Each structure stands twice: as C-alpha cells, then as structure tokens.
Chains A and B, each alone.
Chain A
Amino acid sequence: MGVQIAFWLFAILVAGTALYAAVAPKIVHAAFSLMATFFGVAGIYAILGSDFLAVTQVLVYVGGIMVLIVFGVLLTDRVPEEYKVVAPRRWLPALIAGGLCFAAIAGALKSTVWPISSSTPLGDATSTVEGIGRSLLTDYLIPFEFASILLLVVLVGAARLARGQVR
C-alpha cells in the first residue's frame, strides 16, 4: 500500500511540475518547477529500487544541471516586461506532436505481451551500488573511461565558449 501511495504522489508531482515547466510564462518559474520534477523522478527511482540512481539524480540533476540552468536564466534573461516566450501559433502542432507521441507509446504498451521475468528482483535487500560499480569497472570499462574524456572535452570547451575570447 505504501508503494502505491508513494508512486501516485510522485507521479502527480512529476507530471504537474513538468507541465508547469513547459507552459510557465516566467522562465525562472519554469526552472524551479523543473527542479521539483527532477526531485520527483528521483523519488520514482527510489520506488523502483534503484537507490544509487535516485541519489545520482539528485546530485547531478538538482545539484549540477539545475545550477547551470538557473545560471543560464539569470545570465541571459531579459528584464521582466519582455516575458513573451510562448508562441501561441505553435500550440496546436505541439499538442498534436505530443499527443501522437503519447498515443504511440501507450498503444504499443497496450499491444505488448509482457514477458514475466524469472530473474531475482533487484535491490530488495541490498543496495545496487556494488552491482553498478562492478559493471562499470568490468563490462563497461571503456564507456567509463570515455566518460572522463567526454567530461574533459566538455570542461575545456564550455569554459572556452563561455569565456568568449582567446586568452
């Protein structure tokens, strides 16, 4: 019972704040609404038993990406009277695109026969951190090392782009 209540709580939180982030007239409001969405998704991960990803979501999305987005808003936003960000003409195509997308996934879901997994359930008693760590350092070693190269390139490139002139 607790799981159901938690799921619906977080599902409503995620859907509501995501919707507000997509339509909020003020960009700052959209940004903070998005932060609540990220928290909600972390909650869903926790319900799904992936404790490590829930913590990662909070650390990286709420702690890192949200900071970047808020900085982006504060550095580039215009003075409040110029808040005209929603293009009314695009509402219809957007609704159609979003609706079709949702309908396609929901339709596929309905016609799918769900295979019942025979494997042992995850994360019931123990944490998933060890499993993920083992995968990262053995099977996924190459992606793991490439991630650091990606981060290096991003660090240099983003700093260079943001700085704006050659030093």
Chain B
Amino acid sequence: MPQDTLNQDFATILVFLVFGALFVIANMVLVGRLIRSKTKYTEGKSTVYECGEPTFGSAFVRFDIRFYVLAVVFAIFDVEVVFLFPWAAVMKSLGPVAWLEAAAFVGVLGVGLAYIWRKGDIDWIPAHGHTRQAGKTLPGELTTVPTDGVPAATIPAIATPAVAEAR
C-alpha cells in the first residue's frame, strides 16, 4: 500500500473550504448576534419580502417539463466535456489519430444535438407566439399543474414550447 499523500492543490482547496465554512458560521452565529437589532420576531419578518409584492400559493408548484429536457441535454453534454478533458491532455503527444478519435466522439454527439435542435427542445422563443390560456393545457406540459386555488388566468402568460404542428 503506497503511502497516501494529499495532493497539494486539493489540500489548498480543503483549507479554503474549511475556512470558508467557518467564516460563514462565525459571522452568522457570533458576529450577527452582536450586530443585529434586538427587535422581536413578528409575522411580517417571516415573509419573503418585507415590502413589495405579496406572495401567493406554495413554492412547491410544478414547472414546465421543458426545463427537464434542457437539464437532460445539459447533463449529457456535461459528460461529453468530461470525456474530452483527458483527450485534451494527451492530444499533442498522440498526434492526429487522437484528433480523429475525438472527432468521431464529438460527431456522434453532434447527431444528438441536431436531433434536439430539429425537434425544438432547445428553442427558447416559440416559433409562433402562443400564450397560455386559462384552462387549456399545452402539449408537452404536465396536465396536473397544481395552482393552489389560484385561477389559471392569474398565472402570467408564459412562453410555451415551440409546438411542432408546423413541422
């Protein structure tokens, strides 16, 4: 068993993490206690904003499923980037063969990007302006969005997926 040695760079990061955490905790618990005003707790203090827009409903509202598709796209290309890091480290020493291998890798994923693009999953602005109407669910949306008693009409119009009847 080789002797473990903590990599210097990671040791630095660890020191920063520990001191960062200590700094936050010390300021919140100790310094904050000395500085903050001694007024009593009131109902108003627990609201999100002490002034401005009153909030309504629960924060546990489900949101549009399109965000999930974007998250999948992000996760996949995240993995692709991670695969390219070791390639980049040895690219020069392995020569043009390594370049071709990585090109094949990226090319295959490029097909995926083309598919996603073609299907409109990464379109942010819908192809034809189309806003949410009360009581109407849109394609691609979960049908059971809880609005906590708030009529659907009060939900601000949200840009909706580029519906692809056109395609």
Contact = CB atoms under 8 A, between A and B. Distances in A.
A binds B: yes
Interface of A: 2-3, 6-7, 43, 46-49, 51-52, 54-56, 59-60, 63-65, 67-68, 71-72, 74-77, 79-80, 114, 116-117, 120-124, 127, 129-130, 132-134, 136-138, 141, 144-145, 147-149, 151-152, 154-156, 158-159, 162-165, 167
B90 A137 contact: yes
Chain B at the A interface: SS class: helix
A75 B86 contact: no
Given A124-B5, A137-B101, A144-B105, A159 B10 contact: no
B89 A133 contact: yes
A63 to B, nearest CB: 6
B105 A51 contact: no
Interface string B101-121: 100111011011001100111
Given A43-B14, A49-B4, A155-B115, A162 B82 contact: no
Interface string B31-75: 000000000000000000000000000101011010111011111
Contacts of B2: 117, 120-122, 124
B65 A64 contact: no
Interface of B: 1-7, 9-11, 13-14, 58, 60, 62-63, 65, 67-69, 71-76, 78-83, 85-90, 94, 97-98, 101, 104-106, 108-109, 111-112, 115-116, 119-121, 139-140, 142, 146, 148, 163-164, 167
A60 B79 contact: yes
A127 B3 CA distance: 16
B62 A74 contact: yes
B85 A129 contact: yes
5 contacts: A68-B71, A133-B86, A155-B76, A159-B121, A164-B65
B67 to A, nearest CB: 7
Contact of B78 (A60, A123, A136): A60
A162 B65 contact: yes
A67 B76 CA distance: 12
Chain A at the B interface: SS class: helix
Contacts of B121: 159, 163
A149 B105 CA distance: 8
B90 A155 contact: no
Given A152-B108, A167-B120, A47 B86 contact: no
Contact of A162 (B60, B72, B108): B72
Given A51-B9, A75-B65, A129-B85, 18 more contacts: A46-B7, A64-B74, A64-B78, A67-B71, A67-B74, A74-B62, A75-B67, A114-B1, A117-B1, A147-B83, A152-B108, A152-B112, A155-B72, A156-B115, A156-B116, A159-B73, A162-B72, A167-B163
